[in-house]
Amino acid sequence: MSEHSIHSVLITGGAGFIGSNFVRMMLDERPGARMVNYDALTYAGNLESISDLEQNPNYTFVKGDICDGELLRQTLQAHAVDTIIHFAAESHVDRSILSAAEFVRTNVLGTQCLLEAAMQCGVKRFVMISTDEVYGSLGPDGAFTEETPLAPNSPYSASKAGGDLLCRSYFHTYGFPVIITRCSNNYGPYQFPEKLIPLMIIKAMSGEKLPVYGDGMNVRDWIHVSDHCRAVLAATERGRPGETYNIGGRNEWPNIGIVKELLKILSQPESLISFVKDRPGHDRRYAIDPSKAERELDWKPRIDFAEGLAQTVAWYQSRQPWWQNVMSGEYQQYYEKNYASKMQ
Ligand code: NAD
Ligand code: DAU
């Protein structure tokens, strides 16, 4: 097992859902490591999710775009970065169907720009957070392994596959030490309420209709975000450069099953469910075989789904100011109020 020690890490997209959970976990579990959170603060970036971490002397926030090579090089050099963990992306399938350009810019061009800057600055390890969606859709049986051919179906997944393959090419062409992870659907605290689970929790709490696409029988394989974050840290420290690791919780659910579970936890009636027009090109089923990660990274998911889902509902119930600020757009003022004004 090749062990990599993280001294100074740049996290891209650390103001997003998974990135902010990772920043929190990393500061806690690797208190000796320095961390730069590099994030453009698109609509999905929310500094309120990590406002309690700002005083940590090992933590720095840089507002920056991964397409800005000059700022990337300056940041990597100024902080002597030896490790990059690349979460930043346009991440929502529905938005990619409405408009794909930003997805190609960030997920493909941005990833290439980051790889180039990282290589120029002598970064020792680069971890690409890809997704199980690059494999496309499954029939009723089987699961994606790392050998499953890529067959992305949405502009989102095609752009993620582009970034993923660029990472692969930088390893094969230049020997640049890249590791790729492909995880299934995450749930947990700080998820933007455009995604299934937080959207349904917030609508159910408000007694609104819950829009379920198509027949509700599309299957997703759910994992708690903290289990995903632990797997990313394990891949960074113990993964082999040039390898890909699938990450998942062996926890398949049809969407309608998840929605019914949430209604049960919230004691709301199933009459709130409303079947609506399907997502175009909607992938039918995802399932991840995470055996390689379990075998090679000394990692296993820990959080039981029933417990994790109940905790997630409780989190949204107790953190109304967080999601109300998201709904009102107030969260987008945070940088101006707390960073930009202090720099003048
Ligand atoms: P998110 O949309 O919540 O966060 C994305 C973050 O990236 C935001 O903070 C945003 O401001 C930042 N960002 C976007 N464009 C940028 C740019 N050009 N430069 C710098 N920063 C930029 O996403 P998420 O759900 O936390 O997903 C994080 C990563 O994990 C993505 O790469 C996604 O493809 C992957 N992934 C997500 C899931 C999931 O279920 N959410 C599962 C598997 C893989
Ligand atoms: O599999 C990993 C992927 O999971 C990540 O790469 C993506 O970044 C992440 O967004 C997620 O993609 P999905 O499309 O699976 O997630 P979403 O929460 O948008 O939808 C989950 C399922 O629920 C999907 O089958 C569509 C359905 N759905 C979604 C919404 C928002 C509904 O039925 N109604 C809805 O309102």
Q: What is the pLDDT along the chain (344 residues), one digit of tens a residue?
A: 569 999 999 999 999 999 999 999 999 999 999 999 999 999 999 999 999 999 999 999 999 999 999 999 999 999 999 999 999 999 999 999 999 999 999 999 999 999 999 999 999 999 999 999 999 999 999 999 999 999 999 999 999 999 999 999 999 999 999 999 999 999 999 999 999 999 999 999 999 999 999 999 999 999 999 999 999 999 999 999 999 999 999 999 999 999 999 999 999 999 999 999 999 999 999 999 999 999 999 999 999 999 999 999 999 999 999 999 999 999 999 999 999 877 76
State the residue for tokens 């987008």: 332
238 and 127 in contact (C-beta within 8 Å)? no
Q: Which ligand is nearest to the CA of 42?
A: 1
Structural domain boundaries, residue 144: 8-186+225-250+281-303+331-343
Query: Which domain CATH number covers 152?
Result: 3.40.50.720
Domain count, the chain: 1
pLDDT at residue 276, rounded to an integer? 98
Q: How far is the CA of 267 from the centre of ligand 1 (A)?
A: 32
Do β-strands 8-12 and 252-254 pair in parallel, antiparallel, or remain unpaired?
Answer: unpaired
For residue 256, tell me if it sits in a domain.
no
Angle at 199 between CA 194 and CA 200, to 5 degrees: 150
Q: How far is the CA of 104 from the centre of ligand 1 (A)?
A: 13
Distance CA 24, CA 325 (A): 20
For residue 136, tell me if it sits in a domain.
yes
220 lines ligand 2 (CB under 6 A): yes
Ligand 1: which atom is nearest the Cα of residue 132? 43
Ligand 2: which atom is nearest the Cα of residue 197? 18
Catalytic residues, by residue number, are: 132-133, 156
> What is the residue with the minimal CA distance to atom 5 of ligand 1?
16
pLDDT at residue 341, rounded to an integer? 73
For residue 126, tell me if it sits in a domain.
yes
Give the phi and the psi of residue 154 in degrees, each rounded to 5. -110, 160
User: In 3-state terms, the chain is what percent helix, strand and coil (to 5)?
Assistant: 45, 15, 35
Q: Which ligand is nearest to the CA of 190?
A: 1
